[in-house]
Amino acid sequence: MKFIHLTDLHISADGSSPALKMANEHTRRAIDEINRLHADAELCIITGDIVADPDPDAYRLAEELISSLTMPVYALPGNHDDREMACQALSCVRADENGFLQQVVETSHGPFLLLDTIAPGSHAGVMCQERLNWVAETLQSYAEPVRLFMHHAPFPTGLAAMDTIGLDPAAAERLGDILVAHGYVTHLFFGHYHRPMSGVWRGIPFSSHRSMMQQCALDLFQADHVPAIFEEPQFAVVLVSDAQTVVHYHDFASTAQRGSMGTATG
pLDDT at 253: 75
Mean pLDDT of the 167-182 span = 98
Give this prediction's pTM.
Answer: 0.94
pLDDT band at 212; cut points 50, 70, 90: very high
151 located within any domain: yes
Asked if the structure places residue 214 within a domain, the reply is yes
In a domain, 65, yes or no: yes
Q: Domain for residue 266, yes or no?
A: no
Residues whose CB falls within 8 Å of the CB of residue 119, separated by 6 or more in sequence, listed in order: 79, 125, 126, 168
Question: How many CB atoms sit inside 10 A of residue 227's CB?
Answer: 17
pLDDT of residue 264: 46
Residues 6+ apart with CB under 8 A from 248: 236, 237, 238, 239
Average of per-residue pLDDT across 66-88: 98
Show the CA angle centred on residue 3, arms to residues 71 and 176, nearest 5°.
125
Considering only CA atoms, which of 151, 185, 144, 184 is closest in space to residue 166?
151
Mean pLDDT, residues 78-104 taken together: 97
Is 256 a member of any domain?
A: no
In a domain, 149, yes or no: yes
Average pLDDT over residues 106-126: 97
Percent of the chain with pLDDT over 70: 95
Q: Is residue 129 part of a domain?
A: yes
pLDDT at 255 over 60: no
Secondary structure E strands in the chain: 2-6, 43-47, 73-76, 103-107, 110-114, 146-150, 185-190, 197-201, 204-208, 215-216, 228-229, 234-240, 245-251
Number of domains in the chain: 1
pLDDT in tens, 1-50: 999 999 999 999 987 788 889 999 999 999 999 999 999 999 999 999 99
Residue 80 sits in a domain whose CATH number is 3.60.21.10
pLDDT at residue 200 greater than cutoff 80: yes
Q: What length is written for the chain?
A: 266
Domain of 233, in residue numbers: 2-251
Q: Is residue 203 part of a domain?
A: yes
What is the predicted pLDDT for the residue at 259? 44
Inter-helix orientation angle 169-182/129-139, to 10°: 10
254 pLDDT band (50/70/90 cuts)?
low
pLDDT of residue 266: 45
Q: What is the mean pLDDT of residues 243-247?
A: 96
Is residue 217's pLDDT more than 70?
yes
Which whole number is the average pLDDT over 186-196? 98
As a whole number, the mean pLDDT across the chain is 93
Residues whose CB falls within 8 Å of the CB of residue 265, separated by 6 or more in sequence, listed in order? none
Question: Mean pLDDT throughout 76-90?
Answer: 97
DSSP state letters, 105-139: EEETTEEEEE---B-TT-SSB---HHHHHHHHHHH
